[in-house]
Amino acid sequence: MVLILTLVFSLVIIACATELYRKSGIPIVGIQGADYMGWESCDLCHEQKVKDFVYMVHGRLWIAGNQDQPGIPVCEACHGPASLHVEAGGGRGVYILNPGKKPEVCFQCHTSIQARLRLQYHHPVKEAVIFCTDCHNLHGENIYSVKEMPISRGNTVCMQCHREQTRPRVFEHEALRDGCTICHHAHGSINDKMLIERDNNLCLKCHAQLGTPGTVTIGDFPHTTRLMEGTCWSVGCHTAVHGSNINSHLRY
Ligand code: HEC
Ligand code: HEC
Ligand code: HEC
Ligand code: HEC
Ligand code: HEC
Ligand code: HEC
Ligand code: HEC
């Protein structure tokens, strides 16, 4: 009797969970023939994952509940409906999505990121060369880091693949302390090298100093005519934007 009651009760929860997902309007990647279970069923075997998740960004993503029905964190928005996985007793690759190499799972909600990754200059995610999970740790304490390194969040992530720009220099460019994303879009941009600005505004947002009316002085040097010659990082000027070992003015 207790068993039957439990069974009926679970089925009610499953039905409600599925209904809530449908009502939420979140389009969800599917697993053929499977239904949504709600997080309670994951808790049974992935207790730690569920517990930790509450403190993570996506743990805030609850489908709102009410007095009779607890809210549901959306494990299955990323892992797909899991009834068959649960019935089979779980297992790697057993009726469950591992979205690590499937950005389309993330694009269900992050459409603006998808759009950025389609711009002319972009990180090759749609080409399947790198993945969201190279830079984002979905179950980690810090979603911006795969390995925890004591550097600002942007650089930590970028360092894994771009050693040349991140290695220490005799004359460092302090701008890098604010993170690579002060100058580069992390996902994609209409500008070459994924720069945030294609012209001198990139540098002037930190360096602009007005001299007498009509003149521009930067770092004690008059720059009025120089600014018309090209970008600050053009050949002959400050080409070592990421820092230099030989020139304190970051010329080369
Ligand atoms: C009956 C126990 C059980 C339940 C219930 C269960 N799982 Fe699993 N799951 C497992 C086992 C066992 C593995 C394999 C773990 C391993 O090898 O480390 C697994 C693996 C996974 C993986 C990794 C898949 C892969 O291919 O790498 C994901 C994701 C997952 N489960 C999600 C869920 C979600 C979401 C729920 C709740 C809707 C859930 N599981 C409910 C037992 C379960
Ligand atoms: C926002 C998307 C997202 C949500 C929501 C999410 N996960 Fe995951 N999960 C991932 C990604 C991405 C991976 C693969 C990580 C990787 O390959 O580096 C993963 C991996 C896993 C794994 C396999 C871990 C391993 O050791 O390989 C399990 C188990 C799992 N998730 C369970 C859950 C449970 C339980 C919940 C809900 C509490 C949940 N996930 C919610 C994105 C998500
Ligand atoms: C069901 C919808 C949904 C799915 C699927 C989803 N996300 Fe999110 N994600 C959100 C929401 C909502 C936020 C919070 C946005 C906010 O706070 O402004 C968020 C936030 C984030 C953030 C920013 C965290 C921060 O605090 O700055 C990152 C990074 C992220 N998601 C990556 C991913 C990745 C990678 C995937 C795929 C593995 C994924 N998301 C799947 C809805 C989703
Ligand atoms: C090359 C590393 C990298 C890859 C690959 C990457 N991201 Fe990001 N992402 C970042 C960094 C760094 C930030 C923080 C940006 C900032 O601080 O300006 C970020 C920010 C975000 C944010 C929150 C801020 C925003 O712009 O809304 C979301 C959401 C996000 N990423 C989702 C994704 C998804 C989804 C994927 C895969 C399709 C992905 N990212 C791939 C590095 C990456
Ligand atoms: C997992 C590896 C990986 C990570 C992490 C990574 N990148 Fe990249 N990055 C690449 C690849 C691959 C390319 C494309 C290279 C190519 O096309 O030659 C690229 C290209 C670039 C380019 C354009 C280079 C050019 O010559 O046009 C810039 C700028 C860049 N990344 C900045 C960043 C920043 C900033 C971060 C941190 C937010 C970051 N990358 C993190 C792999 C990575
Ligand atoms: C002050 C602005 C600024 C910051 C901060 C910055 N970059 Fe750049 N980066 C540039 C500019 C400007 C270029 C284009 C140089 C050119 O075209 O000659 C560039 C070019 C690149 C390239 C293409 C190859 C090259 O060296 O020309 C990569 C890769 C790159 N940056 C990665 C990074 C990474 C990783 C970080 C963080 C450690 C970072 N950048 C921080 C301004 C910046
Ligand atoms: C986030 C702010 C920021 C941005 C953006 C930025 N810088 Fe800097 N830069 C600094 C700081 C801080 C210093 C160190 C203090 C100083 O000398 O003004 C510095 C120093 C320099 C120096 C050395 C000054 C000297 O002593 O001769 C040069 C050259 C320079 N930056 C060029 C650039 C160029 C070129 C760009 C655009 C590609 C740029 N900066 C973008 C913050 C920034």
Q: For 180-209, what is the HEC assignment?
A: HHHCECCCEECCHHHECCCCCHHHHHHHCC
Q: Which of 138, 143, 144, 160 to mutate to test the pocket of ligand 2 (most atoms within 8 A of CB)?
A: 138
pLDDT given at position 120: 97
Give the model's pLDDT for residue 150.
Answer: 38
Rounded to the nearest angstrom, the distance between the alpha carbon of 81 and the centre of ligand 1 is 12
pLDDT over 90 (residue 152): no
Which pLDDT does position 9 carry in this prediction? 42
Backbone angles phi, psi at 41, to 5 degrees: -75, -25
Q: What are the distances in angstroms from CA 27 to CA 111, 146, 223, 224, 229?
A: 12, 28, 53, 54, 51
Over the stretch 175-188, which tens digit does the pLDDT of each residue have? Answer: 998 889 999 999 99
- In degrees rounded to 5, what are phi and psi of residue 127? -85, 0
Nearest CA to ligand 4 atom 32: 113
Residues in the chain, total: 252
Q: Which residues contact 30 (CB under 8 A, 6 or more apart)?
A: 80, 81
The radius of gyration of the chain's CA atoms, rounded to the nearest angstrom, is: 25
Q: Kindly report, residue by residue over 194-246, the tens digit of the pLDDT.
A: 999 999 999 999 998 777 888 888 888 888 888 888 899 987 899 999 999 99
Whether 106 is in the pocket of ligand 3, judged by its Cβ within 6 Å, is: yes
Confidence band of 5 (pLDDT split at 50, 70, 90): very low
pLDDT of residue 64: 58
Q: What is the mean pLDDT of the chain?
A: 81
pLDDT score, position 145: 61
Strand, coil or helix: 85: helix
pLDDT in tens, 49-88: 988 887 888 887 765 556 665 555 578 888 988 999 999 9
Range name among 7-11, 30-34, 210-214 with the lowest pLDDT average: 7-11
Q: Quote the pTM value.
A: 0.91
Binding site membership of 78 for ligand 3 (Cβ less than 6 Å): yes
Residues 6+ apart with CB under 8 A from 64: 71
To which H or E segment does residue 73 belong? strand 72-73
Closest ligand relative to 132 C-alpha? 4
Taking the centre of ligand 1 as the mean of its atom positions, its distance from the CA of residue 131, in whole angstroms, is 22
Q: Are 222 and 195 in contact (CB under 8 A)?
A: no
